[in-house]
Structure 1
């Protein structure tokens, strides 16, 4: 799935600020601070998901103003859920003052006059039309000008990051299902209920699994990696962690498969001359013998065979799973029920 948008990098430095401001007219006035540097390196991408849009912006510090004149000229009243992985945003409306920190999403509305001051940031925004989200409209209206700093709100932030990573890989059929999936996830996180959580369950599970995946990736070579460490890193309870990884064969099995997969990739890299024994111990296996035995059971080839195949100039062998083994659900798999 392709995005469209705008980037200033191909323009002359002296015209970048004005071009960035023009891009947002007539919806906003975007004002960049006066600096001695003439350039303004910024990029904005938009994925149109039917009646929902996700945007991604990377830009230096700016002030963004939406006045009553803008509202008359561009009468869009969508709710917006914003998330910044870095930087902060101070938002002023007629009745709200909000200082939003990085890492926590917040809600605002294009239907209101607003004045936002952002530090340099990388941010994601979900634009939610009122007609499409009327079922949770009351909850979204109540949330305008507030941060979604509860567990469900932070889960929604993780989901927005998951969308950003997966949208470029979606097929047309998958993309057609996505609006319903986004509606389910927003409803479950902004206005939680048993029914809404059940509707969004595939997306919730995948979001939590992605959170675990990233935590495991960061600590793959740590001998202490296990349930206790993952619970601390993901802010999950032990029972919740076990539920998330139940379909993966459990915590220990998931960690082992991720380590085996990393070893497989290292052995396929012809520039990596590290001895197999060092690869094994670096990935927290007891010794080369046990690593080789478990590796062959998982992939049907020994580590030596995989490395020899790579050095012979053959395409990297596929990571063959044993019959009946669990396969991690992909983002596209979780759209099938929508």
Structure 2
């Protein structure tokens, strides 16, 4: 009979029969600095009296801001924001004191931005009103809102992580339902999305170009899968029908972007609707003609920024329906804040930049918040 000590020695010998080979965890030792360079903005370095005006100016492309009652600019306003371009979607980390905000109908009508705005609060609370309905957001929930619709609201001191995604990002899935606007969501799908977003945040400094592609795709899928089962698709049948028409209209425009026959009449025929109905669909996008022109300018920007494309500026403008180089240059400058010829100058001056993985050769110089928003549909 084998006693316990003998059995222990035999077991030890048995375990040591084969040589031990240590294997390092894959991916850990190879981690390197990533390709993303964030846009950072803060007011703390300014004199207290100038802090809130600077914050107002910084966000003025999207919102009009004001301080709460009995709070004054001389009291100071320490806020900061960090924006990461994930290649077609912006991740925004923000901390700020209390303020009120609104996006008025005139700003919506004149703005090129109709993106979805998705927010997770880490601390604090917000209250946002659309058409008399108030959405109250707090930590543990997700708020989704459209910049293509007017809204107003207020917030206490908050820390948040938000995603800004162009409407067209979800076009392959039929678009997010119109009833998604100004709703607050919770539940296990939202918690999964929040956990994944936290993981993304923790690893932004190490992202590769391949990581960006997979992350954007996963976020797109998770947002769609989290939102669509929860919103009331029957809340406004006419509005929801309009979303389906808009999705078809956007697809048609993108697939015929270089065609001289891309007109309002062609869209009416494709969608089998009247001109009046078409104009109603595009009212919040500044009109159908403005939307088509904006998409053509985005296509022109992508072409001019492509180092492998040898077309001249005039050729690019003519191919996209602009009747003269002067009109093309004027429209381009109005849309992006710089002329088509400046792309070549900036590309020559801009050495290879870590931000290039997020948006190609031209991304490095788009390091303003408004510039990121304006070119969001490019990627």
* TM-score normalised by the chain length of structure 2: 0.48
Residue in 2 aligned with 1:297? none
Equivalent of 1:26 in 58, 61, 67: 61
The equivalences for 1:125-136 within 5 A come to 125-136=162-173
The equivalences for 1:34-53 within 5 A come to 34-35=70-71, 38-53=75-90
Distance apart, 1:130 and its partner CA: 1.1
Residue in 2 aligned with 1:181? 218
Counterpart-to-counterpart distance in 2, 1:139 and 1:192: 11
Distance apart, 1:148 and its partner CA: 1.4
Distance apart, 1:116 and its partner CA: 1.8
How many residue pairs get matched? 193
Residue in 1 aligned with 2:248? none
Equivalent of 1:154 in 154, 166, 191: 191
Residue in 2 aligned with 1:111? 148
- Classify the secondary structure of the residue corresponding to 1:132: helix
Within the alignment, does 1:167 sit opposite 2:204 as a pair? yes
- Compare relative contact order (CA 8 Å, sep 6+) and give the higher one, 1 or 2: 2
The equivalences for 1:1-338 within 5 A come to 1-33=36-68, 34-35=70-71, 38-136=75-173, 139-191=176-228
Distance apart, 1:21 and its partner CA: 0.4
Distance apart, 1:49 and its partner CA: 1.3
**Residues 175 and 101 (structure 1 numbering): CA distance in 2 closer, same or farther, change over 3 Å?**
same
Q: Deviations over 1:297-322 (max 9, x none)?
A: xxxxxxxxxxxxxxxxxxxxxxxxxx
Q: Is the 8 A contact 1:55 1:126 kept in 2?
A: yes
Counterpart-to-counterpart distance in 2, 1:18 and 1:118: 17
- Classify the secondary structure of the residue corresponding to 1:26: coil
Residue in 2 aligned with 1:252? none
Q: Deviations over 1:151-204 (max 9, x none)?
A: 1122212222222222122123322433222212222322369xxxxxxxxxxx
Q: Is the 8 A contact 1:148 1:154 kept in 2?
A: no
Residue in 2 aligned with 1:286? none
Counterpart-to-counterpart distance in 2, 1:29 and 1:146: 21
Structure 1: 4+ residue segments shifted above 3 A? 135-140
Residue in 2 aligned with 1:330? none
Counterpart-to-counterpart distance in 2, 1:192 and 1:52: 22
Counterpart-to-counterpart distance in 2, 1:120 and 1:157: 20
Gaps of at least 5 residues in structure 2 are 1-35, 231-379
- Root-mean-square deviation (CA, aligned residues, Å) is 2.1
Counterpart-to-counterpart distance in 1, 2:229 and 2:198: 20
- Classify the secondary structure of the residue corresponding to 2:149: coil
**Residues 93 and 136 (structure 1 numbering): CA distance in 2 closer, same or farther, change over 3 Å?**
farther
* TM-score normalised by the chain length of structure 1: 0.53
Residue in 2 aligned with 1:327? none
**Residues 31 and 71 (structure 1 numbering): CA distance in 2 closer, same or farther, change over 3 Å?**
same
